[in-house]
Structure 1
Amino acid sequence: MASLEIEGVEQTIDLQDKTEHTLGRMDSASHSYPDVDLNPFNAADAGVSRRHAKITRLGEDRYYVMDLSSTNYTFVNGEQLEPFEPKVLTDGDEILLGTLKLFFRA
């Protein structure tokens, strides 16, 4: 079961329910409603954009992450992603959205 773990938090985010998950911060004033709202994890302080990144599932077990032209970038295992260019995820990959650290679990 694919999921995201947030560093320092026991809660995990299940990625099985849909083929695409937009990660970011909910902001009703700008009508931003990501699939995964990271506000409860101090996302604004960590530099997470309202629409920061997207994780997509292809087939049963292949996942990709893509930066959505975020202000503070998306990194996978220390490598900065180019906007709108998907990167394959494997179990244990570290994902940084700004400075918010997540781990992909397959």
Structure 2
Amino acid sequence: MTRWCARVWADRDHYELVRAREDRSAPVPEFPGEPREFTVDLDGDEIAIGRRPVPDEGRGSGETSATDPGIDLTGPPRDPGVSHLHAVLLAVGDDRWVVLDAGSTNGTTLNYGGELLTPGTPVPLDAGDTIHVGAWTTITVERR
């Protein structure tokens, strides 16, 4: 059985594309000085991408909920362009994944494209595809 994972990283190229967009209504924050990279195994049928609420957003420190994302982009560094529930990865069969934007505020793009995904519409993924969310976050889906 093929295993899939998601490599999550602060991506300078994605950041520069976001900064160049003419339609942005809010200033883009500075690129993080100490970006982190991490990998998440894609286990299960559905993996939420987003950020959990932090204590100043109404929950106590350390509390979790059923809506905490499987790919947690809370930080540090915190990408302010990521919604609490930004996108979702869905398993399709034994060896296929799709991504859908969950109605995020700032949208989701694929493979450095300029077109935002239509919220709620599944888009098939191939190994090596890149999902772009927020101001600088890129998620690369990979087979192991």
| TM-score (ref. length: structure 1) | 0.86
1:44 maps to which of 79, 96, 107: 79
Q: Counterparts in 2 of 1:28-39, with a 5 A limit?
A: 29=58, 33-39=68-74
Q: CA deviation at 1:10?
A: 4.3
Residues 22-52 of structure 1 deviation map (CA, whole Å, 9 limit, x = unaligned):
110001627652232211253433x000000
Counting only pairs closer than 5 Å after superposition, residues 1-106 of structure 1 correspond to structure 2 as 1-7=3-9, 9-15=36-42, 17-27=43-53, 29=58, 33-45=68-80, 47-77=81-111, 78=113, 79-99=115-135, 100-106=137-143
Distance 1:7 1:33, change over 3 A: closer
User: CA–CA distance in 2 between the matches of 1:34 and 1:10?
Assistant: 17
Higher RCO by CA contacts (8 Å cutoff, separation 6 or greater)? 2
Q: 1:95 to 1:43 in 2, by over 3 A?
A: farther
Shift of the alpha carbon at 1:85? 0.3
Letter in 2 for 1:55: L
Gaps of 5+ in 2: 11-35, 60-64
Distance 1:57 1:75 in 2: 19
Question: Greater strand percent: which structure?
Answer: 1
Q: Which has the larger radius of gyration?
A: 2
Q: Cα RMSD between the aligned structures?
A: 1.9
Inter-CA distance 41–105: structure 2 relative to 1 (3 Å threshold): farther
Paired residue type of 2:121: E
Give, as a single letter, the amino acid of the residue that structure 2 aligns with 1:73: G
TM-score (norm 2): 0.65
